[in-house]
A = this chain, B = another copy of it.
């Protein structure tokens, strides 16, 4: 531990400025009713002494911290392994920094730690929370609700029941999935498979729904469940080749999954796109460009989603609807997606 110099007190500032303790307190807390000349003297003393007001005490009065918590509902190992989170955090960080707000990332080892995250949020340390990668049955939304901090979710939260005013930023997952599958149909493919994401997340459910919108009455064996990871994509692709050797196209729930599927297809001697066409989701760079062959995918602007989440939280609900977007409730935004064609389909 550092051997710290004593922290300058309010009293020291008052003595230096030649004013009362109450005057210093009023100036520090931005209150009115202090003459300009005294405000100036207090400010000078604060600066000279390097006085930092006790924010825990001050926040009881002002209830502002200029800090926003970010909670990724995944173990920290996944937060650092999946570039999706780094991109979303990049957008959030830029926006918060532009408004001189501190980004407070609350990392956990897993869901068992979410109660502790709830306690921190409830503890008066932040002005709001940005929460993403929620899974069904996660206690977080309940804990956050109880903590009473303003919150914006990344991705439509999946809990049941109607809660008006829940703000979120999402991509048009269902529409994007439909575009991908329609493109495969347009290429003349008939045995089009889908490798899902983690189906306890709304993004995965929405993309599956988009697939089903186009592939009405699809052979159920053409749907293989995975979890948004490359390893999951490999496993699912092996299952599909086993169950349906005549598969001629795959729509994977994200680029990492598609990358895993491509590896298994190559091992099995299938040519992409000649034998099997493959489409991903995200347009995560450099992943999507460096697969072999480069990946056709559904682009969503992940960094922009992060920026919008932060903006929505800082502005408050009234400003939420002024964004371009294809839909969303009063204080939410749903961004459009675009199909990006490369070599794999």
Chain A residues near B (Cβ < 8 Å): 1-7, 50, 52, 54-57, 59-60, 65-67, 76-77, 80, 83, 86, 89-90, 93-94, 97, 100, 102-109, 113, 116-120, 122-125, 128, 144-152, 163-167, 313, 316-317, 331
Contact = CB atoms under 8 A, between A and B. Distances in A.
A89 B93 contact: no
Contacts of A144: 2
26 contacts: A1-B128, A1-B151, A1-B165, A1-B167, A1-B331, A2-B165, A3-B164, A4-B145, A4-B148, A7-B148, A54-B123, A55-B125, A56-B123, A57-B60, A57-B124, A65-B120, A66-B119, A67-B120, A76-B89, A93-B109, A97-B113, A102-B106, A103-B107, A104-B120, A105-B106, A125-B125
B150 A2 contact: yes
A146 B7 CA distance: 6
Main secondary structure of the interface of A (DSSP, over half): mixed
Contact of A90 (B65, B76, B124): B76
Count this chain's copies in the assembly. Answer: 2
Contact of A2 (B3, B55, B117, B163): B163
A112 B116 CA distance: 31
A1 B152 contact: yes
A151 to B, nearest CB: 5
Contacts of A147: 7, 52
Given A97-B113, A116-B100, A166 B55 contact: no
Contacts of A152: 1
A151 B2 CA distance: 6
Given A76-B93, A90-B76, A56 B2 contact: no
Contact of A125 (B6, B65, B116, B163): B65
Given A55-B125, A80-B83, A97-B109, 8 more contacts: A2-B150, A2-B151, A7-B148, A52-B147, A56-B56, A56-B124, A93-B107, A93-B109
